[in-house]
């Protein structure tokens, strides 16, 4: 069988799941398609041979019915049940599911009663105050939907910023492709991807080679290129399939690689500061190198670049560039003009920012006991293979019935399986825990006599994100009074490009967490990346400790999600010692003990 477009299969399965939700299908069937999409997305092998050899059903979570739908799409280009469902709904109906606070039931009610089938329809109905008259909505709901429309439109806007998690894998694949081009000496990602911004608008690649043309020709043959936008002497641009991203590749002589990489990594604000420092030292900085100025001020950037240059200084790497300015090397993630320039001049930038190799334990994960895709033993073995020495078992709690949350009886039954796995899987220790809902009044979702028997209790807000600032602040402050809450999970509840952080007096909440000894999670789920780097810095300023968590719901996410937690932590200047799962298991458990 020819190569099968895996992304198209994943997209079709997710669309089918969404349409089934709108049709009122039972949650188990809906979840089956979501899990199948996750399974296909995480495949490391080609999908075509699996289909041709009839091996799809060997994948966990893919039964005969789903396998047949995938085979039909791969062979005919059509998934008939999906096509039938599409015909039953307006063409833009799925846009509604991207609006915060608007789930499938409410979207269907709006469609049935007001004919709302798109974001434009929804805005019109809200502004005409028709939504508030419907049962289950009201004026407050109408106002929230109007506010959420802006976020939804931002996500759908052509050329809008995309989550780093949507872009990272494709950007890295492109980088490896460019490195394999004829004559390439060095190559790197640049721009906001290299700085690990939570959202990115495009992808920058920088390479060095004696001749650019062969590199550009190879670059344009990347399988995911949808359109070549143009090519010049030192730059070529393409648009990619799936993400619709623009990618710019610049190719320069190797002597200019470090300067160009630095220049096209950014940020603009960081560079403005450095250019000022360079002028004070009689230097100019550009993508073409560092030059010493010959008598008088340097020209404006891009104007007669070498006319006043006395000598081009060697810059073999970025560290050498910073050294010429009398500074510490500034890691790419820190280049945002958040005080890093001043700190580097005073030699006080942290030199031990947390790295992947520092993280010894996986914190926050879900298995098939709740809403995960893989068994607990499979998750444990995958974590062991990644080098983790401990693994916190933290399923959803009973209030999260939509996510398979555990009743008290099922929670206790899981303890027996944890004991069995600890006996049979050597080299990793499973810790008994839970991700307990923080209820509307700040209580946790299990009695204290149950919580006190657990090694790890993560407290998270999963419902009622729409409380006002005072209500949400009171809710969290009350939760921190529970002595058995160890970690505050995905603290602000944001969903990138979909839901803004919950309103709260964050500094007051962080102050209370510091007094009570609550650990603050940095959640690596790419849809969340929560805490943000700015909030990480607020937490660290109060002496709070962090947990870098994967929130993994499948084995592949154990590795895939950690880099996004690391990105937020490093951008927030977190050191190894700030993160409790860089400690061995005894130190980790000790760090959880409350004041």
Residue 362's φ and ψ, nearest 5 degrees, are -85, 125
pLDDT single digits (tens) 404-426: 889 999 999 999 999 999 999 99
Question: Could you count the other beta carbons within 10 Å of the beta carbon of residue 485?
Answer: 23
pLDDT band at 466 (very low <50, low <70, confident <90, very high): confident
Lowest mean pLDDT among 92-101, 267-276, 512-521: 92-101
Q: Which pLDDT belongs to residue 409?
A: 93
Q: Rounded to a whole number, what is the distance in angstroms from the first to the last CA of the chain?
A: 61
What token pair was written down for 372? 């995960």
Q: What is the pLDDT of residue 1?
A: 46
Q: Confidence band (pLDDT; 50, 70, 90) for 306?
A: very low
**How many whole angstroms separate alpha carbon 381 and alpha carbon 375?**
10
Burial (CB < 10 A; 0-12, 13-18, 19+), residue 299, is middle
pLDDT reported for residue 557? 93
Q: Is the per-residue pLDDT at 158 higher than 60? A: no
Residue 542, both tokens: 């109060």
Q: Are 532 and 198 in contact (CB under 8 A)?
A: yes
Query: Any idea what DSSP says for residue 287?
Result: T
Beta strands, E only, 301-406: 309-313, 361-365, 390-393
Cα separation, 173 vs 180, whole angstroms: 11
What does the pLDDT read at residue 110? 92
Bridge partner residues of 434 (DSSP): 457
Lookup result for tokens 């290129």: 225
d(CA 253, CA 257): 7
Confidence band of 552 (pLDDT split at 50, 70, 90): very high
Among 33-37, 232-236, 302-306, 493-497, name the one with the lowest average pLDDT: 302-306
Q: Cα–chain-centroid distance for residue 230?
A: 31
Task: Give the tens place of pLDDT for each residue, 252-264.
Answer: 999 999 999 999 9
Task: Count CB atoms within 10 A of the CB of residue 441.
Answer: 10
Q: Quick check: 157 pLDDT over 60?
A: no
pLDDT above 80 for 213: yes
Q: Kindly report the backbone phi and psi dihedral angles of residue 549, in degrees, each rounded to the nearest multiple of 5, phi listed first.
A: -115, 145
Burial track 147-161 (b if 16+ CB lie within 10 A, e otherwise)? ebbebbbebeeeeeb
| pLDDT confidence band for 44 (50 / 70 / 90) | low
Torsion over CA: 425, 428, 429, 433 (sign): negative
Nearest to 499 by CA among 150, 121, 161: 150
Q: Are 398 and 445 in contact (CB under 8 A)?
A: yes
pLDDT given at position 396 = 93
* Rounded distance between C-alpha atoms, residue 387 and residue 418, angstroms: 19
Contact 534, 568 (CB under 8 A): no
Q: What's the mean pLDDT when you consider all of the chain?
A: 89
- What is residue 57's predicted lDDT score, i.e. its pLDDT? 85
Beta bridge partners of 289: 286
| 69-91 pLDDT tens trace | 888 888 888 899 898 889 889 98
Whether the Cβ atoms of residue 213 and residue 168 lie closer than 8 Å to each other: no
Pinpoint the alpha helices (H) of 196-312.
Answer: 212-220, 257-265, 268-280
Phi, psi angle pair for 572, to nearest 5°: -90, 10
What confidence score (pLDDT) does residue 304 get? Answer: 41
The arithmetic mean of pLDDT across residues 2-28, rounded, is 79
Sign of the alpha-carbon dihedral angle for 289, 290, 296, 300: positive
Beta bridge partners of 237: 230, 248
Residues 299/307, Cβ–Cβ less than 8 Å: yes
Q: Is residue 239 within a helix (H) or strand (E), and if so which, with residue range? A: strand 235-240
Is 60 exceeded by the pLDDT of residue 303? no
Q: Which two tokens stand for residue 432?
A: 């008994």
Q: Name the nearest CA neighbour of 289 among 268, 324, 322, 314.
A: 314
Q: What is the pLDDT of residue 26?
A: 76
Predicted confidence (pLDDT) per residue in 343-354, tens digit: 999 999 999 999
pLDDT tens across 361-386, in order? Answer: 999 999 999 988 889 999 999 999 99
Work out the average pLDDT over 29-37: 80
Residues facing 520 on adjacent strands: 488, 546
Q: Give the C-alpha distances (Å, rounded to integers) separating 320 from 176, 203, 208, 315, 574.
A: 25, 25, 18, 6, 24
What's this model's pTM, rounded to 2 decimal places? 0.78
- CB neighbour list of residue 181: distance below 8 Å, 6 or more residues apart: 207, 209, 214, 215, 218, 219
Sheet holding 186-189, edge to edge: 186-189, 203-208, 246-252, 235-240, 225-231
Peptide bond into 354 cis (omega under 30): no
As given in the structure block, the two tokens for residue 470 are: 């005072």
In the structure encoding, which two tokens stand for residue 351, read together? 């030199």
**pLDDT value for 3:** 56
Q: What are phi and psi of 476, to 5 degrees?
A: -75, -40
Could you report the per-residue pLDDT of 434-465, keeping only the tens digit for each? Answer: 999 999 999 999 999 999 999 999 999 988 77
Looking at 77-158, list the stretches that DSSP marks H as alpha helix, in order from N- to C-terminal side.
80-88, 104-114, 119-127, 139-156
Confidence of residue 301 (pLDDT cuts 50, 70, 90): very low
Q: How confident is the model at residue 300 (pLDDT cuts 50, 70, 90)?
A: very low
Neighbours of 509 (CB within 10 A): 22
Q: Is pLDDT above 70 for 297?
A: no
């Amino acid at each position: 069988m020819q190569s099968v477009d895996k992304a198209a299969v994943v997209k079709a399965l997710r669309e089918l799941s969404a349409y089934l939700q709108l049709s009122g299908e039972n949650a188990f069937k809906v979840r089956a398609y979501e899990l199948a999409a996750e399974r296909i997305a995480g495949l490391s092998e080609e999908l075509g041979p699996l289909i041709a050899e009839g091996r799809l059903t060997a994948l966990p979570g893919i039964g005969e019915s789903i396998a047949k739908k995938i085979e039909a799409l791969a062979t005919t280009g059509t998934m008939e049940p999906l096509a039938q469902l599409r015909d039953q709904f307006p063409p833009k109906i799925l846009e509604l599911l991207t609006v915060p606070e608007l789930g499938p039931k409410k979207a269907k009610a709006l469609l049935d009663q007001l004919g709302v089938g798109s974001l434009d329809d929804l805005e019109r109905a809200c502004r005409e105050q028709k939504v508030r008259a419907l049962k289950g909505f009201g004026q407050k709901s109408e106002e929230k939907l109007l506010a959420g429309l802006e976020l939804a439109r931002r996500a759908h806007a052509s050329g809008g910023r995309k989550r780093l998690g949507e872009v990272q894998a494709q950007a890295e694949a492109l980088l490896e492709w460019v490195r394999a081009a004829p004559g390439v000496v060095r190559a790197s990602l640049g721009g906001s991807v290299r700085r690990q911004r939570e959202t990115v608008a495009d992808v920058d690649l920088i390479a060095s080679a004696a001749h650019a043309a062969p590199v550009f020709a190879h670059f344009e043959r990347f399988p995911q290129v949808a359109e070549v936008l143009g090519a010049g002497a030192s730059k070529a641009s393409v648009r990619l399939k799936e993400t619709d991203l623009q990618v710019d590749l610049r190719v320069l002589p190797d002597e200019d690689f470090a300067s160009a990489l630095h220049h096209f990594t950014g940020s603009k604000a960081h560079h403005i500061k450095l250019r000022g420092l360079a002028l004070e030292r009689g230097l100019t900085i550009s993508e073409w190198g560092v030059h010493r100025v010959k008598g008088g001020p340097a020209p404006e950037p891009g104007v007669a670049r070498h006319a006043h240059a006395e000598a081009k200084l060697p810059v073999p790497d970025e560290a050498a560039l910073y050294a010429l300015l009398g500074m510490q090397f500034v890691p790419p993630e820190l280049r945002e003009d958040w005080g890093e320039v001043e700190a580097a001049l005073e030699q006080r930038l942290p030199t031990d920012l947390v790295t992947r190799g520092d993280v010894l334990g996986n914190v926050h994960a879900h298995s098939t006991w709740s809403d995960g895709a893989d068994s607990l033993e499979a998750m444990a073995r995958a974590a062991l293979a990644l080098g983790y020495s401990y693994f916190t078992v933290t399923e959803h709690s009973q209030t999260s019935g939509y996510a398979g949350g555990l009743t008290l009886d099922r929670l206790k039954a899981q303890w027996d399986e944890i004991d069995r796995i600890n006996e049979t899987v050597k080299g990793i220790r499973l810790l008994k825990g839970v991700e307990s809902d923080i209820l509307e009044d700040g209580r946790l979702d299990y009695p204290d006599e149950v919580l006190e028997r657990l090694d790890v209790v993560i407290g998270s807000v999963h419902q009622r994100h729409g409380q006002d600032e005072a209500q949400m602040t009171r809710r969290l402050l009350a939760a921190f009074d529970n002595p058995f809450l160890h970690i505050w999970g995905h603290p602000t509840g944001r969903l990138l490009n979909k839901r803004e952080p919950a309103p709260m007096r964050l500094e007051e909440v962080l102050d209370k967490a510091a007094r009570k000894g609550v650990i603050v999670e940095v959640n690596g789920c790419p849809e969340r990346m929560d805490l943000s780097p700015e909030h990480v810095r607020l937490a660290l300023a109060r002496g709070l400790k962090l947990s870098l968590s994967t929130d993994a719901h499948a084995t592949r996410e154990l590795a895939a999600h950690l880099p996004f937690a690391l990105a937020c932590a490093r951008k927030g200047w977190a050191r190894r010692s700030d993160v409790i799962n860089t400690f061995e298991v005894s130190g980790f458990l000790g760090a959880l003990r409350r004041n």
